[in-house]
Chains A and B, each alone.
Chain A
Amino acid sequence: MKRQVPLVLCFVFGIVMIFTQFSPHSFSQGIYEEVISWALIIGPFALVLATVTLIQTHTARIRRRTEHWQYSFVVFAGLIIMVLIGIPFKPQNSVFEWLYNNVQLPMDATMFSLLAFFIASAAYRAFRARTFEASLLLITALIVMMGNVPVGDLLSNDTASKARQWILDNPNLSARRGIILGVSLGVISQSIRIILGIERSYLGGGD
């Protein structure tokens, strides 16, 4: 029973949601919007559980004095400050906005900017011309890079940007479309397995 009810619900809602994609009638679109809003309602309840696990994790870190346990106090400070300001005064509050714009956004931007260095180190490893494929990758990357910078066109009389565009529009796009086709078919196949109850691992445990 614990398994059958979710499987039946999954089958019924799966079929209904497929039908709503082919029916523009306001009745079926109403069902679609209703079901989506149910999914949104589950979110806040799950967030409470998630916040509890976050508190438990960091409390345990402090209690056990694990490595860098002091940073857990920063987590609690951030959590308490944002809750104390955000809940009574709403997120539009100037202090809340200031903290978001001057603390969280710069930290996010810092993490994002690290990507440039990671790309450099990954590219160094990937482009080492040890094999034929790696050499091909290196040459292609050089052409695309030259096509992306103004000096490339200056030196090659616009040939670099044309070659770059050809690479992006032909071999690159063909490969991407192949992957997208495979992914789309995979998604349909996985969805059918879930709707028919063949794939049940998401219910917890095995098949």
Chain B
Amino acid sequence: MIKITQWIVVTLVLCLSVSVAFSQGLAPLSNVTAVDTPNDNGSSITIKWDAAAEDSGVSGYQILRRIADGELEAIGDLLPAETSTYVDSAIEKGTAYAYIVRAVSETEATVDSEQTAPVEGTGEWFHTGKIPLFITMLLFSAAIVWNIYSARSGKDIFVRRIPGLEAVDEAIGRATEMGRSILYSTGLGGVSGVATIASMTILGQVARRTADYETSLRVPCRDPIVLNVVREMVKTAYLEEGRPDAYNEDDIFFLTESQFAYAAGVEGMMLREKPAAIFLQGTFYAESLILAETGNSVGAIQIAGTDSEHQLPFFIAACDYTLIGEELYAASAYLSREPMLLGSLRGQDWGKLLIFAAIVLGVVLELSGVSWITTLLQRVS
């Protein structure tokens, strides 16, 4: 008897809900699908549906989900009427979820869609959206590697003159003649920064020459790990030049990790010690001009180099020579003249040529009304 009563009540409630829904003009949403979100680590499921028409009276959607035969639970807030996608990021791996999208009217009448098939979140091993990027990277890497190994044959590789690097010997020679020190800053970057590694490579070459000329080389560091690597590099450079006695560990020291305190410290060194040559190589931020202008005011020959394009104008204005962007990375090859390193520069130029050709082709095609290359690049980005 009780069961019959419950059945009648449930049927009445359902009939009432359906009649209210239809009285508001609400219809169940169509094409509701739930799929594992592609190219993620399996931590989300994407639910899609056809958004209700503007005059349908739907004011929003509520997403409901259930695990196996469990209870329905509402997830997230009420979504705006124009929404047609929802990403459920609060899922547990290995659990299958089924979804219902509930359309809600302004009078709070509701109608539920059909329940989707249960779906699990699974992680993908390869991001298919990054395939064009992966192919480009492989092509570019292959060009560099091919040039590196073809350079081993001993073929002469032309490298254009880089005045900033030509001036390294001049700067060290000037400091030696004047009997003053050389100040070398590796900038604010950490050891994981490629610009800092490039800077340390140049420092290694500078240290070889200062070891030869017995000129004092002062290196204030901002990063503790950089400090230790730099000490090791300079020490080995002095050893290899047969001048371990000329190496002074105290000349390479930690200043501070604070950006402007570092700037103040280096500025103070410039004003007190009046170095004859200053190298500012690596990653720099707002302190770039403070350092370069102070160096200029003490009359030092200054060679700067950075890949921070916002700081380049400051260095160009205040320093004698500036390594612009990629020239910083070319420095080790340029200074050492190692064929394999020079080969990588040629590979780099091939990459530039390819990009330049793509730009020219893209402009010509776009002007001719063909936009597939632009669409392809937009998809890649």
CA distance A23 to B128 in the complex (A): 9
Chain B 250-283 interface mask (CB, 8 Å, partner A; 1/0): 1001111011110110000000100000000000
Q: How many residues of B contact A (CB 8 A)?
A: 85
Asked if A68 lies at the interface with its beta carbon under 8 angstroms from chain B, I say: yes
Asked if A46 lies at the interface with its beta carbon under 8 angstroms from chain B, I say: yes
CB contact between A39 and one of B133, B192, B316, B325 (< 8 Å): that residue: B192
Q: Is the CB of B352 within 8 A of A205?
A: no
Asked if A26 lies at the interface with its beta carbon under 8 angstroms from chain B, I say: yes
Chain B 106-136 interface mask (CB, 8 Å, partner A; 1/0): 0000000000000000011111001001100
Shortest CB distance B312–A (Å) = 7
Chain B residues positioned under 8 Å from A115 (CB to CB): 286, 289-290
Q: Is the CB of B317 within 8 A of A123?
A: yes
Asked if A5 lies at the interface with its beta carbon under 8 angstroms from chain B, I say: no
Chain A residues positioned under 8 Å from B144 (CB to CB): 188-189, 192
Cβ < 8 Å to B, chain A residues 165-207: 176, 179-183, 185-194, 196, 198-199, 201-202, 204-207
Asked if B336 lies at the interface with its beta carbon under 8 angstroms from chain A, I say: yes
Q: Is the CB of A206 within 8 A of B141?
A: no
Is chain B's interface secondary structure helix, strand, loop, or mixed overall? helix
Chain A residues positioned under 8 Å from B312 (CB to CB): 179
Chain B residues positioned under 8 Å from A123 (CB to CB): 317
Chain A residues positioned under 8 Å from B171 (CB to CB): none
Shortest CB distance B283–A (Å) = 11
CA distance A179 to B312 in the complex (A): 10
CB contact between A22 and one of B126, B253, B329, B344 (< 8 Å): that residue: B126
The residue in chain B whose Cβ has the minimal distance to the Cβ of A117 is B293
Asked if B224 lies at the interface with its beta carbon under 8 angstroms from chain A, I say: yes
CB contact between A112 and one of B198, B260, B318 (< 8 Å): that residue: B260
**Among B48-56, B72-80, B176-184, B236-244, which stretch is in contact with chain A?**
B236-244
Shortest CB distance B290–A (Å) = 6
Cβ < 8 Å to A, chain B residues 321-361: 324-326, 328-330, 332, 336, 338, 340-341, 344-345, 347-348, 351-352, 355
What range describes how many residues of A lie at the interface? Answer: 35 or more
CA distance A191 to B193 in the complex (A): 10
Q: Is the CB of A46 within 8 A of B344?
A: no
Q: Is the CB of A185 within 8 A of B351?
A: yes
Q: Is the CB of B348 within 8 A of A185?
A: yes
Q: Is the CB of A198 within 8 A of B341?
A: yes
CB contact between B260 and one of A107, A118, A183 (< 8 Å): that residue: A107
CB contact between B261 and one of A43, A46, A107, A206 (< 8 Å): that residue: A107
Q: A111-B287, A199-B197 are in contact. List 18 more A-B contacts (CB 8 A).
A: A23-B125, A28-B125, A53-B227, A57-B253, A68-B272, A119-B289, A122-B317, A126-B317, A176-B309, A183-B329, A188-B351, A189-B329, A190-B198, A192-B141, A192-B145, A199-B332, A204-B229, A204-B232
Please name the 7 residue pairs, one residue from A and one from B, whose CB atoms are nearest each other, closest first.
Answer: A205-B236, A50-B224, A186-B329, A50-B254, A186-B326, A46-B224, A111-B260
A residues engaging B (CB < 8 A)? 21-29, 39, 42-43, 46-47, 49-51, 53-54, 56-57, 60, 67-68, 104, 107-108, 111-112, 114-115, 118-119, 121-123, 125-126, 176, 179-183, 185-194, 196, 198-199, 201-202, 204-207
